[in-house]
Chain A
């Protein structure tokens, strides 16, 4: 009886049929494309013993790589969050000559092979590059340094914030600003108290995407970082080095840590976002 009852409750009437089918396809797809390859990562790593795993994963060189990856990714995502918001604002709110071109340029980091980006950035920021020559003269080492890595990651992650914030900004009800103005709010108050809270969820999503992208980036960093162990070696590069030395288990062990770390971080940010959305807006 009880079983029947739960069955009855679970079987909701749906206007569009195909819940089972679509859910089945979705999980199969996710399984084949994401879960299966990732599980081989665990299998491969399992070939090494527990002791070896800890030694590999906790090696000073690996720790330095995680730390560098995390910090540079965070900094670049934050830079993108600020300037991406600004770019989205300009693209949505103003009409100017060349807007279409700027709009199209925003997507270049999406499409460009990352190695090409790396070469281009190297040519710009190295000591004899167009910008680099000036920066080096000022004592700023803009290539083969953590700063170089941040520059490359910023380039790669820029479209994420712009493209997630843009549609929300476009749909923003003009009446909200008008009503705020009629209630006496000045420009800054309208932006800070009305527009920004509305954009916040999309903005955080954009930040998260840029951050996640930066964590996994490899191609554009390979050139500009210089790959100095303990100094400018990010985790994906360390994995690559291990692969080149045929240390497959070592490479997957590091990869597993990166994966776990990213997963926890992304869960945390998503949770933060949901909490923020539910929370009462108080000053």
Chain B
């Protein structure tokens, strides 16, 4: 189902949570709402779900205004960061909840409910845990139960609020790959909120970058990473070094992997710097440097190059952009 968000504004007593939000989500897309805390991303998700009412503006599902529709009628699967499982019910009953509360006429018979829940348990790879209680499960398992419960009502879209935020790093990685695969097979329109850049870049089809209640950029992970629309997106997505020119105060940005380190300088595009720290762990070596003005910055180089140069902490080296085009001048603000 497609979702269209038109001029949505939401005020809380002390601050403006959403300032005139406009964008469209195509059927079957997996969208990430990315931003720092307080950027309004969760509020936007709740407005789409119908858990919050916008002060003005419209939300259209397949072109149909949802204003008069309560949460119950919207058929959205909502997944919370802290799972919100019903503690007094087994995993099975949690998943069956949406099926059991249907009006008598639409309700499936007991046998069909059993079958459906068992299918969902298999889908989330928990078919052996149906009679456990939520407190007996790990965080990752709980979140999969929450997802299965949301999918049970055959929602028209899936809304996930920081779904992996409460999990540890390893489980988080596994689960987001799993979510990606699940989305690939189900093709259900999905929106998830995250403040984790890597997560947004890895999982989503398109990213909506938000800040202070406004949309800063909408684009594919590739677009957002390589062609950030403004300073905020540039600094928020991935590591970035900022250089201020002494003469005119202009600011330039460049990512750590777009710089190279040399032993000698050829012309004045080379910046003489001191190595202050070297992080060896990982596929790239992260070298922290300070230039003659005392600004510190980071260069990422391959292990190979690092060993070729035989860099040492405290040494003086020369740094320059691998290509001039990488250096991005400040945006007119």
A residues contacting B by CB (< 8 A) are 173, 175-176, 178-186, 189, 193-194, 197-198, 200, 280-283
Interface centre among A181, A184, A197 (most CB of B within 10 A): A184
B residues contacting A by CB (< 8 A) are 49, 51, 70-72, 74-78, 80, 82, 84, 86-90, 93, 97-98, 100-102, 131, 133, 146, 149-150, 152-153
A200 to B70, CA, bound (A): 28
A184 to B150, CA, bound (A): 11
Closest A residue to B161 by CB, please name it: A175
Find out whether the CB atom of A179 lies under 8 angstroms from the CB atom of B80: yes
Across-interface contacts of B82 in A (CB, < 8 A)? 173, 175
Find out whether the CB atom of B88 lies under 8 angstroms from the CB atom of A281: yes
Find out whether the CB atom of A198 lies under 8 angstroms from the CB atom of B72: no
Give 22 CB contacts A-B under 8 Å.
A173-B84, A176-B84, A179-B78, A179-B146, A181-B51, A181-B70, A182-B71, A182-B74, A182-B150, A183-B98, A183-B150, A183-B153, A185-B98, A185-B101, A186-B72, A193-B86, A193-B97, A193-B101, A197-B88, A200-B88, A280-B133, A282-B93
Find out whether the CB atom of B98 lies under 8 angstroms from the CB atom of A184: yes
A175 to B88, CA, bound (A): 15
How many pairs, one residue from A and one from B, have CB atoms within 8 Å of each other in the complex? 73
Closest B residue to A185 by CB, please name it: B101
Across-interface contacts of B71 in A (CB, < 8 A)? 178, 181-182
Across-interface contacts of B100 in A (CB, < 8 A)? 283
Across-interface contacts of A198 in B (CB, < 8 A)? 87-88
Find out whether the CB atom of A175 lies under 8 angstroms from the CB atom of B93: no
Closest A residue to B100 by CB, please name it: A283
Find out whether the CB atom of B78 lies under 8 angstroms from the CB atom of A178: yes
Across-interface contacts of A281 in B (CB, < 8 A)? 86, 88-90, 93
Instruction: Quote the shortest CB–CB distance from A92 to chain B (angstroms).
Output: 19
Across-interface contacts of A181 in B (CB, < 8 A)? 51, 70-72
Across-interface contacts of B75 in A (CB, < 8 A)? 184
The 3 A-B pairs at the shortest CB distance, nearest first, are namely: A183-B98, A175-B84, A182-B78
Across-interface contacts of A173 in B (CB, < 8 A)? 82, 84
Across-interface contacts of A182 in B (CB, < 8 A)? 49, 51, 71-72, 74, 76-78, 150
A26 to B282, CA, bound (A): 56
A178 to B150, CA, bound (A): 12
Across-interface contacts of B98 in A (CB, < 8 A)? 183-185
Find out whether the CB atom of B76 lies under 8 angstroms from the CB atom of A189: no
Instruction: Quote the shortest CB–CB distance from A199 to chain B (angstroms).
Output: 10
Find out whether the CB atom of B93 lies under 8 angstroms from the CB atom of A184: no
Instruction: Quote the shortest CB–CB distance from A277 to chain B (angstroms).
Output: 8
Across-interface contacts of B150 in A (CB, < 8 A)? 182-183
